[in-house]
Structure 1
Amino acid sequence: MTSPATTVSYETAVTDLLGLVAYGELTAFERLAADSALAPTLAGKAQVASMAAAEFDHFRKVHTRLAELGAEPTAAMEPFVEAVDAFHEHTRPADWLESLVKAYIGDTLTADFYREAARFLDADSRRVVEDVLEDMGHGVFVVEHVRAAIEADPKVAGRLALWGRRIMGEALTQAQQIATRRPALAALLAGVLAAPDAETADDLARVGQMLTRLTEGHGARMATLGLSA
């Protein structure tokens, strides 16, 4: 069998990853801006709008890095439109609480995924991705509101737990689709491809280990929200 490293390049892999991150941040901005309308209070609306603004700032940083690498940002994002849009279509929140859980579970799961791949990037690209993943403190807002809702009505916990599991399942489904269609990105995630100044790995079992870490992280965040994984 031909090794992925012999058929794909690091340049393609880094463009793929940054294209995925860029489109993910752009759609996160759009989603949160729309979800702010679900907020029951003006303070909640302002908080979610602030989250949306942060996502757009992240998008601009990744867009700039793609241009620095000589890639056309729109073209770099295009291969991921179908999968990312499908994720959001299949996890459209029905109310304010579902939108908060999605923001917390979905965005942090995505951040974990990016963090795994960033280990194999060149230093400048890695810094951009890590900057995008910087904790803006929005998670505290989500946790406080979800836990307060559960305390006020314990029956809410069951519905939101199912919702959190649905988000996780859909995210993994779309991630598998992306990995199948973008071999360079899959090779980067496996550590088969890496920048000269990055760490390397040669064990394809690393992908399975990565999925285990993503699942464990999801369980920990569900517990933080007061939900069962």
Structure 2
Amino acid sequence: MSDSPAGAPSAALEDPTYRAAVVDLLGAVAYGEISAFERLAEDAKLAPTLEDKIELATLAASQLAELDALRERLVELGADPFEAMAPFRRPIEDFHRHTAPADWWESLVKAYVGDGLAADFYREVAAFLDPATRDLVIATLGDTRHSEFVVDRVRAAFETQPQLAGRLALWGRRLMGEALTQAQRVAAERDALSALLAGGVADAGLDLAAVGRMLTRMTEQHAARMTKLGLAH
């Protein structure tokens, strides 16, 4: 597999394996949007100020707005959006169950790091998609307001609570480990996605070398995010 795939032509949608991979990816992204809405709404309860509460509530509402375009695309492909999302409910909810934040600061870091890792994974797969589907996925993942909000809050907190840095650095590593576990699980369990990651719709089985390169890139991107937060990684 090339590390810089050119993507699939639009005609690839006629291939049943490729079409199944597209439905899988859109289903995963769509359920991720629902999960993000639920988590952000819950995290807003931990907000120390009214301004923070409103910021998170607004961001939560924006997740549902992204959902409409994904559902429409799934319907265009002849898929039931709810059936497409169903296989990803358990791994996404497992990730959140295993990484329940203990306080406001952990919830912020999780929002930034966890959402970033998920976006990295989806972008990696989107690189193999036809232009229309790829553009839709990238547009869905493109909102940076949440990142700016979290970075500002966390870095400001270190000025008055420097002891937070060590605990949140450990938390970031835990999030990374759990996210990689779930990403590997999804890639291994969904045959169509595995074929897509292998570099072509006709390939069978999981290309472990290709997945290894993908996970290395995700690790590097995670390290960059931790540095931006002012945390050791």
Give the structure-2-normalised TM-score: 0.88
SS at match of 2:181: helix
Q: 1:40 maps to what in 2?
A: 48
Unpaired runs of 5+ residues, structure 1, are 1-7, 195-202
Unpaired runs of 5+ residues, structure 2, are 1-15
Amino acid at match of 2:218: L
Q: Provide, for residues 134-182 of structure 1, a one-character-per-residue CA deviation record: whole Å limited to 9, x for no partner.
A: 1332211100110111121111011101111111111111111111211
Give the Cα separation in 2 of the matches to 1:227 and 1:73: 38
Do the aligned residues in 1 keep the contact of 2:121 with 2:183 (CA within 8 Å)? no
| Identical aligned residues as a percent | 60
Give the aligned CA root-mean-square deviation in angstroms. 1.6
Q: Provide, for residues 95-129 of structure 1, a one-character-per-residue CA deviation record: whole Å limited to 9, x for no partner.
A: 11111101100111111111111111122211210
Amino acid at match of 2:209: A
Amino acid at match of 1:74: F
Amino acid at match of 2:219: T
Give the Cα separation in 1 of the matches to 2:65 and 2:201: 29
Q: 1:209 maps to what in 2?
A: 213
Amino acid at match of 2:223: G
Q: 1:199 maps to what in 2?
A: none
Q: Provide, for residues 16-47 of structure 1, a one-character-per-residue CA deviation record: whole Å limited to 9, x for no partner.
A: 11111111111011110111111000100111
1:178/1:17 Cα in 2 relative to 1: closer, same or farther (>3 Å)? same
Residue 125 of structure 1 pairs with residue 133 of structure 2? yes
Do the aligned residues in 2 keep the contact of 1:120 with 1:193 (CA within 8 Å)? no
Over 4 Å off, 4+ runs: none
Do the aligned residues in 1 keep the contact of 2:27 with 2:84 (CA within 8 Å)? yes
Residue 136 of structure 1 pairs with residue 136 of structure 2? no
Q: Offset at 1:86?
A: 0.2
Q: Offset at 1:204?
A: 5.8
Q: 2:70 maps to what in 1?
A: 62
Give the structure-1-normalised TM-score: 0.89
